[in-house]
Amino acid sequence: MTLASFPRGFRALVIGASGAIGSAFVQALTDDAGCGRVDALHRHSAPPIDFDREASVAQAAEAMAAHGPYHLIVVASGVLHTPAFAPEKRLADLDYARLEQTFRVNAFGPALAIARFAPLLDRHRSVLAVLSAKVGSIEDNRLGGWYAYRASKAALNMMLKTAAIEVRRSNPGAALVALHPGTVTSALSRPFRGAERGRPPADAVRDLLLVIDRITAQDTGSFVAYDGQRLPW
């Protein structure tokens, strides 16, 4: 597919490019004949970006400034579980280390990425999209559980919404949006029947790019699902 709303030769940057969805974004943008440049950042890229190392975020942004301005920046990081922990089912499962690690990857790191990379956005037409999740919606929470993941995505949504207000003042051509990809077949969803319920990452990214292509500057600060549905905060 081709992103028709972006200028010919547009520049894109994917942060968290080693994951299932991030790598699918890189591939789809590389295949887009209208995209002139795709940069991919992850822990082992050059420069590296690692949300466990705060300084790496600013250093990566400084290094990538020479390749901008960017018309599209995607922050595709996320963690639901690790070999050391699973998402909580009840309050008694909460512990500080699990909360801290989940927030670092899902909220703190992406927030710093927004802060450091938003100045690299093109001033005429640009989108900065962070991967959120519908379970981060406070209003839509009817099942409970998954405390750290839900709360970290809710925190990310607030960071994005607040940043969108500020960025709009200095760059009215930019849109900052939170996107819900749906259930995707990946290491994140695999323990929760993701292979049965999910879609291939390439399909999810195709849908998300269709949504991004329709985003305008007036949509900044929105929370949008892969099918274009506006989600409640």
Identify the CA nearest to 64 among candidates 41, 81, 85.
Answer: 41
Residues written for the chain: 233
Q: What are phi and psi of 3, to 5 degrees?
A: -80, 100
Cβ atoms within 10 Å of 34's Cβ, excluding its own:
15
Q: Average of pLDDT values for 117-140?
A: 96
HEC profile of 47-103? CCCCCCCHHHHHHHHHHHHHHCCECEEEECCCCCCECCECCCCCHHHCCHHHHHHHH
| Mean pLDDT for all residues in the chain | 93
HEC profile of 92-109? HHCCHHHHHHHHHHHHHH
Residue 104 has pLDDT above 50, yes or no: yes
Domain coordinates in residue numbering, the chain: 10-225
Question: pLDDT tens for residues 59-96?
Answer: 999 999 999 999 999 999 988 867 777 788 899 998 89
Question: Which percentage of the chain shows pLDDT scores above 70?
Answer: 94
Identify the CA nearest to 129 among candidates 5, 8, 16, 1.
Answer: 16
Question: pLDDT tens for residues 155-214?
Answer: 999 999 999 999 999 999 999 999 999 989 865 545 555 445 678 999 999 999 999 999
Q: So what's the pLDDT on residue 113?
A: 98
Cβ atoms within 10 Å of 105's Cβ, excluding its own:
18
Question: pLDDT tens for residues 5-52?
Answer: 999 999 999 999 999 999 999 999 999 999 999 999 999 999 999 999
Q: Is the peptide bond before 119 cis (omega within 30 degrees of 0)?
A: no
Q: So what's the pLDDT on residue 47?
A: 97
Q: So what's the pLDDT on residue 190?
A: 57
10-225: which CATH number, 3.10.150.10, 1.10.150.120, 3.40.50.720, 1.20.1200.10? 3.40.50.720
Q: So what's the pLDDT on residue 194?
A: 43
Q: Average of pLDDT values for 101-127?
A: 97
Q: Average of pLDDT values for 112-118?
A: 98
